[in-house]
Amino acid sequence: MSSYRTEAVVIKSSDFGEADRLLTLYTRNKGKLSAIAKGVKKPESRKAGSVDLLSHVSLYLAEGRSLDIILEASLLNTFSNLRQNLHLIASCYAILELVDQITPDRQENIELFRLLTQVLTKLDEVVKDEDAGKILTAFKIKLLTNTGFRPQLVKCANCSSILTTASNRFSAALGGVLCGACGNLDKASRPISTQAIKILRFIQDEDYDQVMKLDYPKVLGMEVEQQIRYYLEYLLEKELKSNHFVEKVNGLSS
């Protein structure tokens, strides 16, 4: 049985028998994989607390036929600050679910691992609740780029003409914005404002610090988020469960 070391973020966790836990990990070197943390629910376990959901950990694992086995685990970051804030927790759950749903098993993507640890670190530093939503939206857009689904926001996704300010629509099926002349090609496409297109373009290419400096009306932020949500649900062919949690938490402070 071969073994290996890697860093990972615990993106999913469930009970597995009386003493074990089944974990879904997003690892630095092997992408997403499932592993068993044996005996971790026992009070005397040295791994207890080291493999909790939303933890960045260093692992030593043995390869199994279908599930790898965690032999050693040490914490690198618990992101303790964000765990005290419901808005940040909601954003994190959305991020973890999205990574779990959009990524294939055991396909190395070091850049995505970097994006994941980076966004969790940034959320852990957030002071204002409203920044959590901006960071979540920015992560979704950057994840789309990383996984090969970067939306076309500069030229028409159908005819490649430069977009103007008139009657643009966003088409999930065609992967971007349609000009006024092509808007009827996809009956499921949605109107998108010029302001929303500009914000999406900015977020695609700027870091989180610059994104948090953006100042725009709440209704415009909702439009941007809804367009990205529509695109993701088309790609995944399902609605993300965490959307309802995020909406409920946001509703508590509105």
pTM of the predicted structure, to 2 decimals: 0.94
Integer Cα distance of 212 and 219 in angstroms? 16
pLDDT tens profile 45-100 = 777 788 999 999 999 999 988 899 999 999 999 999 999 999 999 999 999 999 99
Using DSSP, state whether 195 is helix, strand or coil. Answer: helix
Integer Cα distance of 176 and 197 in angstroms? 10
* Domains located in the chain, CATH noted: 3-77 (2.40.50.140), 82-253 (1.20.1440.120)
Integer Cα distance of 219 and 54 in angstroms? 30
Mean pLDDT of the chain: 94
Question: What is the phi-psi region of residue 209: left when phi exceeds 0, alpha when psi lies from -120 to 50, beta otherwise?
Answer: alpha
| Amino acid in the structure at residue 254 | S
Integer Cα distance of 108 and 38 in angstroms? 25
